[in-house]
Structure 1
Amino acid sequence: MYQNQPKLWWSTRERIRYRNCTKPRPVHGGKNCTGLDKDIIFEDCNTNICTINQNIVNTPTISKPITNEFKTSSVSPQKTAIVNPFVSTQNVNDVSTKEPTDTTAIRKLGFLDNTTVEAERTITTPKSITKAALTRQNLNESVTEMENVWEMQTTLTDNDLQATSTTTTTTEKDLLNVTISPAYVDVLEGQSQLITCNVTGIPTATSITWLFTPTGSNKSNSLNISNADEYSGGTIQNPSLTVLDFQLSDGGTYECFVTNAVGTSNSSSSVLRFIQHLTISVNPSNGTAIYGDISYTIECTVSGIPLSTSWSWLKRLSTGGELTTISSGSKYSIANSATLPHLTINSIVEDDEHDYFCQGTNDAGTQISTHARLIVNGDLLNVTISPAYVDVLEGQSQFITCNVTGIPTATSITWLFTPTGSNKSNSLNISNADEYSGGTIRNPSLTVLYFQLSDGGTYECFATNVVGTSASSSSVLRFIQQLTIAVNPSNGTAIYGDISYTIECTITGIPQATSWSWLKRLTTGGTLTTISIGSKYNIVNSATLPHLTIKSIVEDDEQDYFCQGTNDAGTQISTHARLIVNGGISILSKYKVKYYSPVALKLKTTKIKQKLRHEAQRIPLKFQLISITVM
């Protein structure tokens, strides 16, 4: 039916358009072929309607886009239409109402006037499809299954020529074109990152694969895009990939691989670098320093990916206010470290009491730590002393407690002494181990050894730190000594009937006696009894000479007498002052007594008898008579 009709061939193998060719596939430049006057180019056939220079061409729909089409030639306005017999002819007014059933390939059909056009590139020899097998469905399937060529019957409608011809159309088959973006991006920890993968060309993709090479590794792995917790997309329907909740392990190089019937194409690489906000901590978060300390250091630990590129310290009052940047210098030292930029504050003073902040910056931004609060403790020391007043007995050692509290600690301890009765103070030489013990920084308390009169006075403890010098209250040490009491005569005699007999008492000591008294007891011993002033006894009211006078001497006055005195050191008593009372003796008889012969005397009283016996033993007797008169 069609053998004798002029034929229109479109050979993509040679890219030469022919008409009225007597053989089905003319060779380039072959005979018996009459080229058409002009090329007619069909493009943008999205709804089976192709509009070129007000001409309408209906072409079959192809399921996937075809890339690498031919260069466009000039269009002839004389050719009105080419009609595909397998698709109903559409009116130009129907273009807007037709929805595309799939992406449509660009169609190009041209008429040449005895000229040739070289193809952009050569493809495989076309494969024919018979008219009987060619339907709309078969045509689409043929293209989907990557068939190269199909033949179809077309009717050429021309103002000059109307004929039915067979048109051979060739579809190119090639690797898909894959592009990817971004080429490089920093991704913040926890965020999601979209990697766009654009796939164009035909035949369509049969699979999508994403390869991932971790940062620092040369080993690539195929991503498990079915893991919905980590990835989204990466499929044929949606080649682009979204990495969810980006973590350190997600940092690396991504590539998109697309496979079709021709083979596998891959994109360029997309490098995703993991970054995270810096984590900055300070230690101690709350600390104390002592006024006058040499230095105080606050540690700062900075961690994060990437490392900090800059770091600094800031401060503000602990009560709040604006942050000010700290500069390195004589007052502050900052360690030059991206991970440990510690701050050292030198020569601590009260004004260093602030809140301090460590700050670091990396590609993820600038972060700042919580505060490190510094409390500066320091003032004049508190110095207390005891006892405030004490009597110290001569020869004893006296301990004076000096308590020093506060900070900064003492750098020196000084003891000042003002002697009793003087207003001039002197610094004690506490290094004199014969007189003092203690009085140092380690042992501020002072012990005065072998207390003497010259040690009595006022003592003060002075403690010095970097803030200044503090003084204690005073401690008064009063020298006291036990009284020394002497009586005179220590042994004396009186005559029975004497008017009086006086025993002197001398009392010495510091302080003087505050009270004094006399006591007596029998010469043979016994209990002491206090003598009271009265008609029998008289005591001089004197702290130093409280003499005793015994009046109207009788035999009973023969006793041992004691002087007693009391001062702040206690009560002291003298040795005895013995009084012997002698009386007159009457002669009762005369006796002739030989030398060393016993004498028997008859006495009126036992006391006189004993006295005389005593006296008789003392007096050397000669060969003579002794007359004894007993009164």
Structure 2
Amino acid sequence: MDTYLTIHSPKSNDAGQYSFEVSNAVGPVTKSIHLSVPSVSIIEVPEVIVGNPIITVPTIQSCPTPVSAMWQKNNRHNIEEFERLDINDAKYFGSSDDPDDPRLVMQKVTQEDALYYRLIVSNGIGQSASNNIYLKLIGGVPSLYVHHETHIMEKSVTLVCEMTVPINSPTVSDVFWTKDGRKIDITGSGGKYSGGSIVNPSLSIKMVNSNDEEMYQCCASNSVGEMCSEKIYLGPPRIEFNSPDFDASPKRVTYIATIKSIPVALNAEWKVKQDRNDRFQVIDMHDPLYKGSVIALPRPKLVVNKHKAEQVESFQLEVFNFIASSRRNTQDIVVDSHDAVINKEIPVPLMKFYSK
């Protein structure tokens, strides 16, 4: 005997429990079925490494059979608002909104995917939403710290790149250096450059000269993305003067300079000229007039024990490295190896000192 109940196009008012009872001489048997909106659940996703794929498959219980499904993600600016997820986007290739087999696939998760997701399923009775799952991502791009080492005897410089990768991050896939924003061809450099690899990210530059003056930067990447270090400048030394120290008795002035240089400065020379139109000449450090002066780097010092009325623009410091030399006058006129001149006013204390 076939006995059944047919409900055509069930609606919300058809929801409820339906029971069927059969009896014979022994007794009755009852079976029940419940018509309601779908029950949808998604297992919480564990931590996912950035750059890895992920597949999410829900569990659906529904009577009547579901007729539609829709994946949603929360609005980035409002966690309480959800919007439809476009599974036709290449990012979600392999995903499905088929109510018989819905699934969410991400081939390569990125930091932007760290959102809440859910599935909306509908049947004739109505619709319901799954629990919200949060995609928690771990891992990141490499961190890079750069500094330099100068090898004076070899006339070479190593731009040291210390690279660290966050725990549970994808391995580094590429390391390279740029010079003035252009990628350096290490293998095609004829031995000029070496290093700059995953195994040895530091860059060595042989026979450093004026042609090597430029900004250098180390970059590394993994499946998460790319990170570049701070830029490091190879160029002529930079000279900075402290404020002059004036001693009215016995009329002495002291200049102390700070040298900053990559590659390191090799030597320095204090110079003097006796007349405004003369050329600067290297000072004899043994001259009593300059007793107490030193050319030790990186803090050369000039002591002028006043014996006559030297002009304030009479002294100059010149510092050398493998790239070029830089010169700076004690009156704060800068003259570098490219003949650039920057004029500044003579400090008032120094004018008063020399006017005595």
TM-score (norm 1): 0.28
Higher CA-based Rg = 1
RCO (CA 8 Å, sep 6+): is it higher in 1 or 2? 2
TM-score (norm 2): 0.44
